[in-house]
Amino acid sequence: DTSNAAIAERLALMADLMAFKGENKFKIGAYQKAARLVGKWEAPLAAMAPPERLALPGIGKGLAADIDALLATGRI
């Protein structure tokens, strides 16, 4: 599923997994923020070009790459 809701769910899950592993709190926060943003974003991310996704507020290179991978393969 490439809906924004599905992408947001995966990003939130990644944040939870990172928190469980004790990873950097700023990286966890970035994934949580991205999950909220993507979940509320009206335009489908799957229809956007990668540079457009990178231009979203709070989406850096790493998150954009993970979203690209998720859309391409279904996995992060």
Q: Tens digit of pLDDT for each residue in 2-53?
A: 999 999 999 999 999 999 999 999 999 999 999 999 999 999 999 999 999 9
CA–CA dist 54, 12 (Å, integer): 18
Give pTM, 2 decimals: 0.91
CA–CA dist 44, 55 (Å, integer): 14
